[in-house]
Amino acid sequence: MRATHLHRLELSLFPALSVLFAWWTALVVTGGTRVLDARLRPPLLEPRSAAGQMSEAFSLVTHPFVIFLAIGVAAWLSFKRRMRRLAVALGVAALAIPLQVLLAIWIDRARPPTAFADSISHVGGAYPASHVTAVTVGAWVLVTLTRAHRRPGSSVARSSVLAVTAVAFTATCQWAMGLTYVSDIIGGLLLGASVANLALLVGGVDTILSNWAHLGLPEGDLDKRAAVVFNPTKFDDLSLLRRRVESEVLALGWQPTVWLETTPDDPGHHAARRAIEAGADVVLVAGGDGTVRAVSAELSGTDTPIALLPSGTGNLLARNLGIPLDIDDALRLALTGVSRRIDVVRARTDDADERFVVMAGMGLDAQIMDSTNDGLKKVIRAGAYAVAAVQNAVPNPFPATVTLDDGEPTQQDVVMVLVGNVGTITAGMTLFPHASPSDGQIDLMLASPDKVIDWARLGAQILTGKDMEGFATSSAARLRIETDEPVPFELDGDTAGTTRTLSIEVEPAALRVIVPEA
């Protein structure tokens, strides 16, 4: 009940503050605050005095442009760490600064007479106070980041005190330097607070009030435990991942989490087996497509569900199952969502017997994966695959003999063989328009473009999600591909050497995955 009342209060803050700001602005424009400003005249510090120089230095450090850049960097870093809702909220909050500039130009209120007229803080109209608006939003960002990074209550308290102090000191400096009237400061506070609360609504970020009320703590303990299999190379800040997971687990009353790290030699097979041995009720996978494939292979045929925390470049299974790419949203889903059974695909080659859940390929597809620079993937993400595709723009065809189920073998020259358990790849492009991870079938595409028009048709099929002439897909429960010479192949985006044979068999409904409710 208390949480519901607080949530309603939080939802009403933005409209209430916006109405209050509009009313106060009307008062200022019509001269209704003249008496207030006359009675509370600034003390007008001397520019050469110690207090005056300190105030001017502080005003330079807290210049709105500096605050705007700082919020922009925080938004970019949040997006990079897959805190997408937070990134949106910070982006909205930053808009308070250009909005203040537009309002100041429109209202065009003259600043008070001051000896600091040559200060960089003396630029633009007085109302609403630019520095106060910017620092108010910056203070909100500071506290929100502290909370979003799951810092302890003591850290939230310290950042809150620092935030309030910064706003108060900024307002005092601006007033004492004679750069603004008291009414300008109040307007800046109301504008900054209004936009900050709008950011909460747009971003869907839990608000500061809920944190102070210590909401979300469980009423009792549950006999449930999660295990996290994580690839440490996918995270710039592993401590943040741990805090995010433990915060959600604590809120649900689950038992302490089991943390299992992958290694360069083992992308997750051993870790998944340890998770099963530990009696995990759900195995969270925080890594790329290779980690997802390894854990899925081990959990195949068991009743232990897998939950995805998208952390790689492709995140192909997550995209195809509608799992959020924001880790906070994906984490809540992992611990509260429903499970769905999907197919796992068994792939036998000349030298290996493995399983995958997304796609496998021979020829050009594997060459592109092998040519993709890992460092470039971290910078331009999916764009690195496009760079590798350009590098392999003139592939050599090879003869392939294909057998579907119990049908007759057929042979044709191809540059690429693709088999998919799902249909969509990076950036939402569809390779297999009719693919489903739970239909007991694997989809096949044989590509042999040798003219510009053929490549255009392939591109059109990817972009439109519809079969194009010469690139129609087929499906089967089993298939076998044979080549005359060893050909590069890949499983779920990981190159796996070369092979002359690739035998595929679908294992229907072998894996439980936590997915959003339909």
| Residue 510 tokens, joined | 């072998």
Note whether residue 261 is domain-resident: yes
Q: Tell me which of 163 and 379 has the higher pLDDT.
A: 163
- DSSP H helices, 177-315, are 182-203, 208-212, 238-252, 269-277, 289-299
Give the end of a domain, one of 310, 336, 362. 336
Considering the domain architecture, whether residues 325 and 195 belong to the same structural domain is answered as no
Residue 217 pLDDT class (50, 70, 90 cuts)? low
Give the end of a domain, one of 171, 188, 212. 212
**What pLDDT score was predicted for residue 375?**
45
Note whether residue 341 is domain-resident: no
Q: Tell me which of 113 and 389 has the higher pLDDT.
A: 113
- Predicted TM-score (pTM) of the model is 0.73
- Statement: residue 473 has pLDDT above 80: no
For residue range 279-311, list pLDDT tens digits in order.
999 999 998 888 999 999 999 999 999 999 988
Under 8 Å between Cβ of 234 and 262: no
For residue range 349-401, list pLDDT tens digits in order.
988 899 999 988 888 766 666 555 444 344 334 443 443 343 444 457 888 89
Considering the domain architecture, whether residues 444 and 376 belong to the same structural domain is answered as yes
**What pLDDT score was predicted for residue 162?**
93
Tell me how far apart the alpha carbons of residues 11 and 510 are, in angstroms, rounded to a whole number.
44
Contacts of 69 (CB under 8 A, 6+ apart): none
What CATH number does the domain containing 256 carry? 3.40.50.10330
**Of 296, 295, 280, residue with least CA distance to 231:** 295
Residue 450 pLDDT class (50, 70, 90 cuts)? low
Considering the domain architecture, whether residues 184 and 302 belong to the same structural domain is answered as no
- Statement: residue 278 has pLDDT above 80: yes
Question: Which range, of 94-108, 203-217, 356-370, 399-413, averages the lowest pLDDT?
Answer: 203-217
Total residue length of the chain? 518
Q: Compute the average pLDDT of residues 458-477.
A: 60
Q: Tell me which of 140 and 425 has the higher pLDDT.
A: 140
**Of 277, 309, 223, 225, residue with least CA distance to 513:** 309
Note whether residue 135 is domain-resident: yes
**What pLDDT score was predicted for residue 423?**
84
Give the end of a domain, one of 150, 183, 212. 212
**What pLDDT score was predicted for residue 370?**
54
Note whether residue 517 is domain-resident: no
Question: Which range, of 22-31, 228-237, 267-276, 335-344, averages the lowest pLDDT?
Answer: 228-237
> What range does the domain containing 478 cover?
353-508
Considering the domain architecture, whether residues 37 and 167 belong to the same structural domain is answered as yes
Amino acid occupying residue 424: T
Amino acid occupying residue 25: T
Strands 359-363 and 474-476: unpaired
**What pLDDT score was predicted for residue 145?**
85
- Statement: residue 402 has pLDDT above 80: yes
3-state class (DSSP) for residue 406: coil
- Domain total of the chain: 3
Contacts of 187 (CB under 8 A, 6+ apart): 21, 24, 25, 28, 127, 128, 129
Considering the domain architecture, whether residues 44 and 161 belong to the same structural domain is answered as yes
Note whether residue 221 is domain-resident: no
Considering the domain architecture, whether residues 248 and 297 belong to the same structural domain is answered as yes
| Residue 103 tokens, joined | 């309002």
Amino acid occupying residue 6: L
Considering the domain architecture, whether residues 131 and 264 belong to the same structural domain is answered as no
For residue range 7-57, list pLDDT tens digits in order.
555 567 788 899 999 999 999 999 998 888 888 877 677 777 888 788 888
Please tell me whether the peptide bond between 98 and the residue prior to it is cis, using omega within 30 degrees of 0.
no
Residue 139 pLDDT class (50, 70, 90 cuts)? very high
Mean pLDDT of the chain: 82
Considering the domain architecture, whether residues 151 and 248 belong to the same structural domain is answered as no
**What pLDDT score was predicted for residue 56?**
82
Note whether residue 516 is domain-resident: no
Q: How many other CB atoms are there within 10 angstroms of residue 304's CB atom? A: 18
Q: Compute the average pLDDT of residues 215-229.
A: 73
Question: Which range, of 75-89, 367-381, 491-505, averages the lowest pLDDT?
Answer: 367-381
Considering the domain architecture, whether residues 168 and 61 belong to the same structural domain is answered as yes
Considering the domain architecture, whether residues 425 and 503 belong to the same structural domain is answered as yes
Residue 452 pLDDT class (50, 70, 90 cuts)? very low
- Statement: residue 315 has pLDDT above 70: yes
**What pLDDT score was predicted for residue 114?**
79
| Residue 34 tokens, joined | 């003249």
Residue with tokens 């209060």: 9
- Statement: residue 471 has pLDDT above 50: yes
Note whether residue 515 is domain-resident: no
**What pLDDT score was predicted for residue 51?**
81
Considering the domain architecture, whether residues 176 and 37 belong to the same structural domain is answered as yes
**What pLDDT score was predicted for residue 428?**
61
3-state class (DSSP) for residue 411: strand
Residue 357 half-sphere exposure, CB side, CA atoms within 13 Å? 31
**What pLDDT score was predicted for residue 82?**
80
Considering the domain architecture, whether residues 25 and 122 belong to the same structural domain is answered as yes
**What pLDDT score was predicted for residue 229?**
95
Under 8 Å between Cβ of 318 and 264: no
Q: Compute the average pLDDT of residues 405-427.
A: 84
Q: Quick one: CA torsion of 289, 293, 295, 296, rounded to 10 degrees?
A: 120
**What pLDDT score was predicted for residue 281?**
94
Note whether residue 342 is domain-resident: no
Query: For residue 211, what are the CA distances in angstroms to 82, 239, 328, 333, 343?
Result: 22, 20, 16, 21, 41
**What pLDDT score was predicted for residue 392?**
43
